[in-house]
Amino acid sequence: MYKQKNKTHLEKSKHFAQPILIYLRILKESFSFAINALINNKLRSFLSLLGVTIGIFSIIAVLAGVDSLKQEIEGSLSGIDKNTIIVMRFPFSTTNIPRWKWQQFPDVTYDEYRSIKRNTPNLEAATFVMQVPLKVIKNDYASVSNVNIASITYEYGDIEELQIAHGRFFSEYESDRGSTLLVIGDEIANSLFGSAEKAIGGKARLYGRKFTVIGVLKKQGAVLGDYSKDNFVLILTNFARRIYGDNNRTTFPRIIIKPKKGIDMAEFSAILTQRFRLMRGLKPDNVDTFFVNQMKGFTNVIDNITSVLNKIGLIISGFSLLVGGFGIANIMFVSVKERTNLIGIQKSLGAKSSFILFQYLFEAVILAVIGGLIGIILVFLFFRLASQFTGDFEFILSPTNMLIGSVVSLVIGLIAGILPAISASRLNPVEAIRKGM
């Protein structure tokens, strides 16, 4: 009795496995037929590959390019806490206040900075920064033009966590006095003094004054094109105030504030806003004449910009990929028409419709996937070549983007090949042979 039950169970298993084996064999034979068809029609296969390759190349290049740009921006901001607040007359993001109105707001002042430092709870550090025009810095041996100059107070190093490679940063005493001292970038140090080590204690002329170099920043490399701290010169705000005054609209003064960790940021921002309103004597019905911008809001703006760039790039690339898909579909219809006689013979010899369907579907999918892989390889080679010309800017081709390219090419192959494959599988064998003769 036990043997009989076991025999019945085995027969059921074989009966269940048999259809699976048949379909696997059909898939294998269909795949072989598709490969042979592609090899025998090299020019046709190449033209079909070309459209998909260009489409996938465009999509992956856009995704990877935007990802690379985003990482570069985030990397340049990595030294700044996202809770850092920048108070100035400009907003980071959209606001209900009309542009013409906030452009007339007064700049933040040095006195407001000092008051905020003294009277704001849970404040770890605050610095007053002025952006001044590009200048030429020189010494007795060399000069550097178009130098980025930022005037800061001594707390700036605590907020952005600047890395000093040689020497030191400004002290509080030097900051208050507005001493003629410099902290310079690596590129400036090498251009003027030959090396960062030799720069310490060196003299350089700026604004017609002789400055002493007390610190050299650690080499950063290129960030967003030419913007890099390697080409920066840091001077003290109180010196810049003597040169430009306190009411110069071109200096874009701002107060950068770093709150203590773990505090309620909404409450801190509200207290900060109230402090500024009191200092400026604003009435309850008056709008704020300043903006309390959080760095987190700036990163959100960056995310929105990169998202828009992604969408625009994908739409443009989608048209290219659409052309590639139509190219595959067109080639497959031509292939079905040319091989009508062969399809009739295959069916008359017992080939099932599913065999014919898979044969042509595989041919379309293989074309699309190979085209996609070539597109991904071309993006990789293009990025490697581009990296040689962009210095320290790093192009990133992530596994996610490669997976997206592979999946998209597979889907394009399925969509482009399904109609030609269905039309081939539905051909009547007798009519197919007659039409092909």
Domain ranges of the chain: 29-75+302-436, 106-289
Distance in angstroms (rounded) separating the CA atoms of residues 257 and 126:
4
pLDDT surpassing 60 at residue 395: yes
26-64 per-position pLDDT tens digit = 556 555 655 666 666 666 667 667 777 777 787 777 777
Distance in angstroms (rounded) separating the CA atoms of residues 209 and 242:
12
Distance in angstroms (rounded) separating the CA atoms of residues 47 and 359:
20
244-291 per-position pLDDT tens digit = 988 888 888 999 999 988 888 889 999 999 999 999 999 988 999 999
Q: What is the mean pLDDT of residues 156-184?
A: 90
112-133 per-position pLDDT tens digit = 999 999 888 899 899 999 988 8
**CA-based nearest residue to 364, from 398, 315, 407, 410:** 410
314-326 per-position pLDDT tens digit = 776 677 677 777 7
What does the pLDDT read at residue 279?
92
**CA-based nearest residue to 365, from 316, 406, 312, 399:** 406
Question: CA 109, 114, 118: angle at the middle one, nearest 5?
Answer: 145
Distance in angstroms (rounded) separating the CA atoms of residues 247 and 130:
11
Kindly report the number of other CB atoms within 10 A of residue 129's CB atom: 23
Kindly report the number of other CB atoms within 10 A of residue 271's CB atom: 16
pLDDT surpassing 70 at residue 224: no
Q: What is the mean pLDDT of residues 361-372?
A: 79
Beta strands 181-184 and 232-236 are antiparallel
Q: How far is CA 40 from CA 37, 44, 373, in A?
A: 5, 9, 21
pLDDT surpassing 90 at residue 154: yes
Continuous H helices in 79-137: 99-102, 110-119
Mean pLDDT taken over the chain: 79
DSSP string spanning 62-85?
A: HHHHHHHHHHHHHHHTTTS-TT-E
pLDDT surpassing 70 at residue 19: no
If DSSP codes are grouped into helix, strand and coil, which group holds residue 287?
Answer: coil
| Residue 111 amino acid letter | D
Helix-then-strand count for the chain, H and E? 15, 10
For 211, residues 6+ apart whose C-beta sits below 8 A from its C-beta are: 180, 181, 182, 203, 204, 205, 235
What does the pLDDT read at residue 97?
86
DSSP string spanning 339-406?
A: THHHHHHHHHTT--HHHHHHHHHHHHHHHHHHHHHHHHHHHHHHHHHHHHHSTTPPP---HHHHHHHH
Dihedral-angle region of residue 211 (phi above 0 means left; psi in -120 to 50 means alpha; beta otherwise): beta
Backbone angles phi, psi at 426, to 5 degrees: -95, 0
289 in Cβ contact with 153 (< 8 Å):
no
Beta strands 209-217 and 203-206 are antiparallel
What does the pLDDT read at residue 227?
59
If DSSP codes are grouped into helix, strand and coil, which group holds residue 114?
Answer: helix
User: How many Å from the N-terminal Cα to the C-terminal Cα in the chain?
Assistant: 61
The dihedral through the CA atoms of 154, 158, 163, 164 has a sign that is positive
